[in-house]
Structure 1
């Protein structure tokens, strides 16, 4: 199934912006290509930019990657719970509250990149092994509907969003 075939009734309007960032790809391709887009940027960040923030009070390059890691993990758990038929309403999370307590000052950026690769590989393996019935299940996330497959596309769209953010806001891109 391609993202263009994903009914908007399978995700809350809040997530539409992420879904719209995805080219007309299958879920597997969207997860692969969004990871590649992010890695294309973050693997070329010069060391002197790891702790760079484009404005006072904004997240640094490292903090943004930690946010991507945290968000991906939360959405992986959401997809798993929905796929397994959990009818609990899954709450939202306050990414700003996470950012206020996360301390990445002592973290090395390059291992964070490797961590992203592993987290995404875990997501890919999980989605690969869901059945069609698992993918079609709908739960409640942040007060709105969410199918397992929609959560996968939201993961990809969130990653595309931050890859673009790194390029446009931080002024980062490919080497050379």
Structure 2
């Protein structure tokens, strides 16, 4: 499935930006390409930059990386629930609680890369199991409508969005 194949009114405009940043891409191809290139990006970050934040009250690079992983887990869980026909409306999650509780300052770059690979491989495995009818299934999370496909694209776009921020604001 490609981004051009989904109805972009779902999810809400805030999340639509994460899909738009991708352009017209195929979902599994993008998930796999990011699995290959994002760990290389993390490896390229100088060790002394992992604890860097570009401003007061901004997350450190390590915190941003763990936020990407945590968010992927949440979106993946939502996709699993909706793919199985669960129509229970799912709550949102408070990223501002997750980030300080991630204890990013205690993590090595290597452990973050390993966790990222594990989570992304799990996402790829899940999405490989979906046929087109499953990708079209829908549910509600954070009081917004989602399709299984849109969650997959948001996983990719959310990562790309934050990688762009890391490049533009942290790696000067």
TM-score range, shorter chain: over 0.9
Q: 2:161, 2:37 → 1: CA distance?
A: 10
Would you say how many aligned residue pairs link Structure 1 and Structure 2?
172
1:25 matched to 2:10: no
SS of alignment partner, residue 8 of structure 1? coil
Shift of 1:37: 4.7
Shift of 1:76: 0.6
Q: 1:144, 1:41 → 2: CA distance?
A: 32
Q: 1:93, 1:102 → 2: CA distance?
A: 14
Shift of 1:30: 2.1
Shift of 1:93: 0.9
Report if aligned partners of 2:42, 2:109 keep a CA contact under 8 Å in 1: no
1:7 matched to 2:7: yes
Report if aligned partners of 1:11, 1:145 keep a CA contact under 8 Å in 2: yes
TM-score calculated relative to the size of structure 2: 0.93
| Partner residue, 2:83 | 83
Q: 1:133, 1:25 → 2: CA distance?
A: 19
Q: 1:10, 1:146 → 2: CA distance?
A: 6
Q: 1:92, 1:56 → 2: CA distance?
A: 26
Shift of 1:36: 4.2
Q: 1:38, 1:51 → 2: CA distance?
A: 19
| Partner residue, 2:130 | 130
Report if aligned partners of 1:37, 1:163 keep a CA contact under 8 Å in 2: no
Q: 2:147, 2:10 → 1: CA distance?
A: 5
Give the alignment of 1:157-168 within 5 angstroms.
157-168=157-168
Report if aligned partners of 1:53, 1:60 keep a CA contact under 8 Å in 2: yes
Report if aligned partners of 2:22, 2:157 keep a CA contact under 8 Å in 1: yes
Segments of structure 2 that go 5 or more residues without pairing to the other structure are none
| Partner residue, 2:53 | 53
1:71 matched to 2:98: no
